Amino acid sequence: MKKIKINKKNIKEAIIKAGKGLLKALPMIFGTILLISLISVLIPKSFYTTIFSKNIFLNSFIGSLIGSISAGTPITSYIFGGELLKQGISLLAVTAFLVAWVTVGIIQLPAESAILGKKFALLRNITAIFLAIIVAIITVLLLGMI
């Protein structure tokens, strides 16, 4: 059997990098949970049901749009999305929100345009907004079937 060579220096580096990554995300995570807690106490659940109507396309479009302009690590999006779901927002809107959050990068758009090209960056982000809606619809439909 082939033995896996373990490099102690690389392990240390990997742990430090992971720690730094989580530490960097902590202010945003703390802030998001604090904000969610405040919003949950302040805003009644009925408010969300008025924003997210019964129209599935409109719901997913709103979710995708909010996700596109939101910034932060994917951990934050899961926490935020999970709590939105608990507030009574439809799974469709939350899914579109989650997918857009992680696939659309409005904040990184200037860097992406400068390095990979303006046309590419714009087309990639625009298609990602619409694809988030499609992903949300298919996921929710499949989840209902299985």
Partner 1 sequence: MKIKNKLKQITGSGYFLISIILIYFFLFIFKQNLFFSSISFFCNIFFKIIPIFILVFILMALTNYFITPKFIMKHLGEKGIKKWFFVILGGILSSGPIYMWYPLLADLKSKGLSYGLIACFLYNRAIKIPLLPIAFFYFGWKYIIILSFIMIIVSVIQGIILNKLMEVKNENSYSVRRKR
- Tell me which residues touch partner 1 (CB under 8 A): 10-11, 13-15, 17-19, 21-22, 24-25, 27-28, 30-31, 33-38, 40-42, 72, 74-75, 78-79, 81-83, 85, 91, 95, 98-99, 102-103, 105, 108, 111-112, 115-116, 119-120, 123-124, 127-128, 131, 134-135, 138-139, 142-143, 146
Query: Smaller CB distance to partner 1: residue 62 or 121?
Result: 121
With contact defined as beta carbons under 8 Å apart, do 79 and 36 qualify?
A: yes
Q: Cβ 73 to partner 1, closest distance in Å? A: 9
Query: Smaller CB distance to partner 1: residue 49 or 139?
Result: 139
- How far, in Å, CA of 117 to CA of 111, rounded? 9
Reference 34, options 66, 3, 76, 73; nearest CA is 76
Query: Smaller CB distance to partner 1: residue 56 or 75?
Result: 75
- How far, in Å, CA of 116 to CA of 112, rounded? 6
Q: Cβ 95 to partner 1, closest distance in Å? A: 7
With contact defined as beta carbons under 8 Å apart, do 140 and 91 qualify?
A: yes
Q: Cβ 57 to partner 1, closest distance in Å? A: 17
Q: Cβ 51 to partner 1, closest distance in Å? A: 21
**36 burial level (CB within 10 Å; 0-12, 13-18, 19+):** middle
Angle at 132 between CA 128 and CA 136, to 5 degrees: 165
Query: Smaller CB distance to partner 1: residue 65 or 72?
Result: 72
